Every structure is written in structure tokens, then in C-alpha cells.
């Protein structure tokens, strides 16, 4: 069974470094306040959904510590209490079990999984997809949280020398049973290639394809676009930028 995927513009809330992370310099109260402020600004600017991730927790762990799950759950609950649009969770670097747990506890409606099928070489080492475990965890929770899976994920190199974008997309959709696929550029803020979107749409016409990075409000046939960097000014979400980009879509 496939679950609904948000459409339109999905705004990013990049959390400051959370407790336990090397770069953590703020109290949990201040991290929460800034996250809620960014989320409210995104909603006021016209985004259709919000995706929250532990962006400040570099260097990232493959599987996060319990304190990260607890902190993200607290913050997403606060965002939910102060906004009215759908929320999503991405636990970096690749912890779908934690993301599903947070979503189940907070009522978030979707998660992002950076490596859902196959294997990628990253600065965290080799990351292997956990589609079987993720789908079974969702089933055991009785959850209807949508799984958005990256294909050709940024900041990574395929482990398989015979890898192709088309094959990963087919595997993520048909065998990994993802609810939507995310296609990004090479890194954070890097443009997603329109030709790649069209390639995936041609082979998987019924699959929601989302832009994962570099969107600046250009016309696109993608189901949705995840926007973070383009909304920021001096490290925070800028209302004027959000309104300008959303008005173009």
C-alpha cells in the first residue's frame, strides 16, 4: 500500500547542533525556539509542508544516539503545536528507524531516507539500504507515514560499479516500496538536473518524483521540491525569500 506524499514546496528546518553533537553550543530551549521560528516563517511564506532534520549534527552518525531521538521528538512536537501544515522527519545520516519512531510519536506524516536500497560510500563509510527493516518497522507501528527515498543521494558515491540512476529508482519503487523518490544535485544547494527528473518520470510515470536540492522556483514537472538553502539569509529562514519563491510556483 502506498501512502500520500506531500506536493508543492517542502521547506527545510535545519536544526542547530543537538545535545551530544560536537558542535552543540545552545540549550535545548534555544534550539527549539529557533526551529519553531523557522517553521512559522516557512508557513507564513507559503510552503506546503515542512521537513525537519538534524543538519547541525556533523560529523553525522549512521545510527543516532537516544538523545538525538529525544531532542528531535521534543522539537518536532513544538513545531507541530505552532504550525498547521504537514511535517516530515529526516534523521541524518541514515536512521529510518529513528525517523519512523519520531514520526509515530509526533504525528509527522512523512520521513526522508537517504539510502533506502543498495549501498553508498560516504564520509561516514559504507551505508547500506535498510528497506526491509524500514517497511517492517512501519508495519509493526501500524503507521501510515510516507517514505520518501533518495536515489543518487547527494554527498555519496555508489558502491556498485555497475550502478545506474534508473536501476536504483526502479529498485527503490518496485522492491523497496518507497512512496516517493527524491532526486538531488551533487551536494546541499546544488541544482537537481531537470534531465534526470524527466528520465525517471519516463520509466516510472506513476511515481511521485521530488526535487531534493537546488530548486529556485523554476517551472518543473516534479511532484514537489524540497527547499532549504534558497530560503536562507545569514543562516536563518528569510520570509521575503520564502514568499518570492513560493509565488513563482
**Are β-strands 8-14 and 224-227 bridged in parallel, bridged antiparallel, or unpaired?**
parallel
* Burial class of residue 40 in the structure, from the number of CB atoms within 10 Å of its CB (0-12 exposed, 13-18 middle, 19+ buried): middle
Three cell numbers, residue 154? 547527494
Tell me the per-residue pLDDT of 20-42, one tens digit each, with 9 for 90 and over.
999 999 999 999 999 999 999 99
For the segment 65-80, the average pLDDT, to the nearest whole number, is 98
Give me the sign of the Cα torsion angle 57, 121, 231, 83: negative
165: left (phi over 0), alpha (psi -120 to 50) or beta: alpha
56 band by pLDDT with thresholds 50, 70 and 90: very high
Q: Which residues of 186-215 are buried (b: 16+ CB within 10 A; e: fewer)?
A: eebbeebbeebbebbbeebeebbbbbbbbb
Of the CA atoms within 13 Å of residue 70, those in its CB half-sphere come to: 6
What number of other Cβ atoms are within 10 A of residue 81's Cβ?
A: 8
For residue 189, what pLDDT is reported?
Answer: 66
What number of other Cβ atoms are within 10 A of residue 126's Cβ?
A: 11
CA R_g for the chain: 17
187 band by pLDDT with thresholds 50, 70 and 90: low
198 band by pLDDT with thresholds 50, 70 and 90: very high
Tell me the per-residue pLDDT of 92-137, one tens digit each, with 9 for 90 and over.
999 999 999 999 999 999 999 999 999 999 999 999 999 999 999 9
Q: In this structure, what are the phi and psi dihedrals at residue 14, rounded to the nearest 5 degrees?
A: -90, 110
202 to each of 149, 179, 205, 207, how far by Cα in Å?
18, 17, 6, 10
For residue 219, what pLDDT is reported?
Answer: 75
- Please tell me the distance from the alpha carbon of residue 151 to that of residue 172, in angstroms, as a whole number: 8
- Domains in the chain, start-ordered, CATH in brackets? 8-248 (3.20.20.70)
232 to each of 69, 88, 127, how far by Cα in Å?
25, 19, 29
Q: pTM of the predicted model, to two decimals? A: 0.95
Decide if 52 contacts 88 (C-beta within 8 A): yes
Amino acid at each position: 500500500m502506498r501512502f500520500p506524499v506531500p506536493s508543492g514546496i517542502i521547506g527545510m528546518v535545519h536544526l542547530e547542533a543537538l545535545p551530544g553533537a560536537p558542535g552543540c553550543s545552545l540549550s535545548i530551549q534555544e534550539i527549539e525556539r529557533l526551529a519553531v521560528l523557522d517553521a512559522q516563517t516557512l508557513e507564513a511564506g507559503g510552503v506546503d509542508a515542512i521537513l525537519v532534520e538534524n543538519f547541525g549534527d556533523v560529523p553525522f552518525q549512521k545510527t543516532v544516539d537516544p538523545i538525538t531521538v529525544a531532542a528531535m521528538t521534543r522539537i518536532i512536537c513544538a513545531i507541530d503545536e505552532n504550525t498547521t501544515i504537514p511535517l516530515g522527519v529526516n534523521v541524518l545520516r541514515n536512521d529510518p528507524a529513528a525517523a519512523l519512531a519520531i514520526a509515530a510519536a509526533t504525528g509527522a506524516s512523512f520521513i526522508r531516507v537517504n539510502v533506502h536500497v543498495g549501498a553508498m560510500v560516504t564520509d561516514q563509510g559504507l551505508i547500506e539500504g535498510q528497506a526491509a527493516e524500514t517497511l517492517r518497522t512501519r508495519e509493526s507501528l501500524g503507521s501510515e507515514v510516507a517514505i520518501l527515498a533518495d536515489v543518487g543521494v547527494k554527498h555519496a558515491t555508489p558502491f556498485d560499479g555497475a550502478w545506474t540512476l534508473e536501476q536504483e529508482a526502479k529498485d527503490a519503487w518496485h522492491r523497496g516500496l518507497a512512496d516517493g523518490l527524491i532526486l538531488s544535485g551533487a551536494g546541499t544547494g546544488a541544482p537537481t538536473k531537470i534531465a534526470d527528473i524527466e528520465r525517471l518520470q519516463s520509466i516510472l510515470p506513476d511515481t511521485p518524483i521530488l526535487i531534493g536540492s537546488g530548486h529556485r522556483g523554476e517551472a518543473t514537472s516534479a511532484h514537489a521540491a524540497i527547499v532549504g538553502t534558497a530560503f536562507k539569509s545569514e543562516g536563518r529562514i528569510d520570509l521575503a525569500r520564502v514568499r518570492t519563491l513560493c509565488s513563482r510556483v
